[in-house]
Amino acid sequence: MGNASVEELFEPAPEFRSAANLGPAVYEEAARDRLGFWAEQAGRLDWAEPFTEVLDWSNAPFARWFVGGRLNAAYNCVDRHVVAGRGDRVALRFVGEPGDERTLTYRELQDEVCKAANALTALGVGTGDPVAIYLPMIPEAVVAMLACARIGAPHTVVFGGFSADALRSRINDFGAKLVITADGGYRRGAASALKPAVDDALTSCPDVAHVLVVLRTGQDVAWSRGRDVWWHEAVAAASPEHEAPALDSEHPLFVMYTSGTTGKPKGILHTTGGYLTQAAYTFWGVFDHKPDDVYWCTADVGWITGHSYVVYGPLAAGATQVLYEGTPDTPHRGRWWEIIQRHRVSIFYTAPTAIRTCMKWGAEIPAGFDLSSLRVLGTVGESINPEAYRWYRRTIGGDRTPVVDTWWQTETGGHMITPLPGVAAAKPGAAMTPVPGVSADVVDDAGKPVAPGESGYLVLTEPWPAMARTIWKDPDRFVETYWSRWEGYYFAGDGARRDADGDIWLLGRVDDVMNVSGHRLSTTEIESALVAHPAVAEAAVVGASDETTGQAVVAYVILREGADVGGDLTEELRGHVAKEIGPIAKPRRVLLVPELPKTRSGKIMRRLLRDVAENREIGDASTLADASVMDLIRDGMTAAPAED
């Protein structure tokens, strides 16, 4: 990734710059008094009780923000807009994949959230009781999250693409008492079932007392009497009156599971006041949100992006947004652009992998739609390659729109490094600058800042309001994973480079985490899934570069002696991973090999396997315990190739 040449800088237009919510002065203002700055941003929220201290860092790295303050996240996302006389403003413009549409104003959203909150209470869910949500992208997903937030029941949303096994392990780790799901949702032109995975998962989830089921597709569902309850019946019967309790600023809002470097996903805990402050501030500032904007983020609520920039950020800011259930190519490849045209979307936020897919489909597809309503574009999930950046800005943004490349993580809760659309002379491929009030650096092995032009590790050097508070039920792992590499620094797991101007370029993960289509997958988790198959003795997984998805999962497998090497074994192993984790984790290729390259201490040298997977000359293999292994792997592979 090179430096942008001078002609590649994209400056905001003068009209955009002068009308922007944030100008260059904000950086200095935030740097002058970082905590005072965040306290001011907390003023974007309505507090039932004011906080008495901005940050308590005495028990670092376990932070408490806005100490002593009390508030309700759902009240802040919904009711206060109604109270302020904006009840008729549209909150959600839902577009179902089959073409059905539904509009919810803030007043209607308030009724739905209150009724759902009362229904949850009636089912025995109290403050502090964990709830799991496994839903398609329908308005009820937003309502369910807000209803949980309203009564102080922390939620964990599990992406609908995860398998029953993955759902079960999350439900049990979280200790969920209730699961909210649907019969199914529409994907790729067909009804796709969700409830069977819940039924399967619940065969061993002893804490779950009830399942609340949204009717979406009308497909047949198995029904467990006494346990299962229809959402439409329970919610319709409930009162739309509900007093939102004032909760502590540090009350748990949600847990989002994400892949780490071990086989067990980490439950990242976010709490109320700090998280909501940063989500609301960054939504407003980074997307330059104005009251008349129509915003659309294509992320699923099953990921952190769907939490911070579909639910909590936009709704706290009182935004009008599009919520789309389906895939970009159903029923045709112009579906997204058609939605933008129809709803006059002005701010659009998606992932580089989706942009590259649209590039592949051809510029003539978006050219067939009127995209002139767009004024800000954003990306998230991985670095955007300069070519895709230019295509996005020119073909989708008409060469008018700033593009904000937002770097952040499940753990950071909100945007951390990004250009501001009315300030930056943006460089295609660079995430540029820490958000005002955020302190980041690029350091070397010794923890010293690198010189301009050098690469190193990305660290966050000061606490920030939306930071993860801990790993659910595993505080030691929280300290160990993020805070132990350099004293006082949060280590993000990403490599980065500072260019000559001091701007930051992200270089990808430096640990055993892969990024496939903007989704985080753990090599170890997939390896564990493979080893759980009776035919597999050992497995090593790597992420190989892929033009469209960023990385693709490639698995090297040593079979057990005597295993039946039937014709479809590699196919079976791919399916096995999909069943254990979910289709997103399915290896692109499974290669049967006689050996794996290991160091003398037994550590698998994934770097060498990546070389093979990417058809490169094999790099330095001098630390291998057995130098001939790579030849064996190559020879073995040609004997048993396995590709889609």
- Applying CB under 6 A, the residues found at the interface with ligand PRX are 258, 304-305, 380-383, 405-410, 431, 492-494, 506, 509, 515, 520
Closest distance to ligand PRX from the beta carbon of 474 (Å): 17
Closest distance to ligand PRX from the beta carbon of 98 (Å): 28
* Separation of alpha carbons 258 and 255, rounded Å: 10
φ, ψ of residue 58 in degrees (nearest 5):
-70, -25
Closest distance to ligand PRX from the beta carbon of 405 (Å): 5
- Residues 510-523 as b/e (b if ≥16 CB within 10 A, e otherwise) read eebbbbbbbbbbbb
Contact (Cβ atoms closer than 8 angstroms) between residue 194 and residue 182: yes
- Which DSSP letter does residue 466 get? T
Closest distance to ligand PRX from the beta carbon of 378 (Å): 9
Question: 547: which residues sit within 8 A by CB, 6+ positions away?
Answer: 356
Closest distance to ligand PRX from the beta carbon of 1 (Å): 11
* Separation of alpha carbons 582 and 258, rounded Å: 13
Closest distance to ligand PRX from the beta carbon of 150 (Å): 25
Question: 142: which residues sit within 8 A by CB, 6+ positions away?
Answer: 92, 109, 301, 310, 311, 315, 323
| Crossing angle for the helix pair 139-151 and 106-122, to the nearest 10 degrees | 60
Pairing of strands 550-559, 536-546: antiparallel
Closest distance to ligand PRX from the beta carbon of 334 (Å): 26
Neighbours of 84 (CB within 10 A): 12
Closest distance to ligand PRX from the beta carbon of 519 (Å): 6
Bond preceding residue 386 cis, omega within 30 of 0: no
Closest distance to ligand PRX from the beta carbon of 522 (Å): 11
| Crossing angle for the helix pair 273-286 and 34-42, to the nearest 10 degrees | 90
Closest distance to ligand PRX from the beta carbon of 25 (Å): 25
* Separation of alpha carbons 182 and 143, rounded Å: 13
> CB-wise, 38 or 505, nearer to ligand PRX?
505
> CB-wise, 105 or 383, nearer to ligand PRX?
383
Neighbours of 303 (CB within 10 A): 22
Closest distance to ligand PRX from the beta carbon of 257 (Å): 10
> CB-wise, 248 or 494, nearer to ligand PRX?
494
Hey, which residues does 545 pair with through a beta bridge? 551
Closest distance to ligand PRX from the beta carbon of 229 (Å): 32
Contact (Cβ atoms closer than 8 angstroms) between residue 497 and residue 485: no
Closest distance to ligand PRX from the beta carbon of 95 (Å): 23
The torsion of the CA quartet 456, 462, 468, 472, rounded to 10 degrees, works out to: 90
Q: Write down the H helix ranges in 157-248.
A: 164-174, 195-201, 231-236
Neighbours of 598 (CB within 10 A): 18
> CB-wise, 152 or 265, nearer to ligand PRX?
265
Closest distance to ligand PRX from the beta carbon of 288 (Å): 18
Q: Is 102 left (phi over 0), alpha (psi -120 to 50) or beta?
A: beta
For residue 424, the number of C-alpha atoms closer than 13 Å in the C-beta half-sphere is 31
Closest distance to ligand PRX from the beta carbon of 515 (Å): 6
> CB-wise, 300 or 611, nearer to ligand PRX?
300
Contact (Cβ atoms closer than 8 angstroms) between residue 159 and residue 300: yes
φ, ψ of residue 7 in degrees (nearest 5):
-70, -10
> CB-wise, 119 or 581, nearer to ligand PRX?
581
Closest distance to ligand PRX from the beta carbon of 587 (Å): 19
> CB-wise, 61 or 184, nearer to ligand PRX?
61
Q: Sheet holding 376-379: strands in order across? A: 101-105, 90-95, 320-324, 294-297, 347-350, 376-379, 403-405
> CB-wise, 72 or 551, nearer to ligand PRX?
551
> CB-wise, 383 or 570, nearer to ligand PRX?
383
> CB-wise, 431 or 613, nearer to ligand PRX?
431
> CB-wise, 402 or 597, nearer to ligand PRX?
402
* Separation of alpha carbons 550 and 554, rounded Å: 13
Q: Which structure tokens are listed for 182? A: 């649907």
First to last CA, the chain: 30
> CB-wise, 195 or 307, nearer to ligand PRX?
307
- Which DSSP letter does residue 79 get? I
* Separation of alpha carbons 541 and 593, rounded Å: 12
Residue with tokens 């549209």: 90
> CB-wise, 92 or 304, nearer to ligand PRX?
304
> CB-wise, 96 or 265, nearer to ligand PRX?
265
> CB-wise, 380 or 539, nearer to ligand PRX?
380
> CB-wise, 105 or 278, nearer to ligand PRX?
278
Nearest to 547 by CA among 397, 382, 402: 382
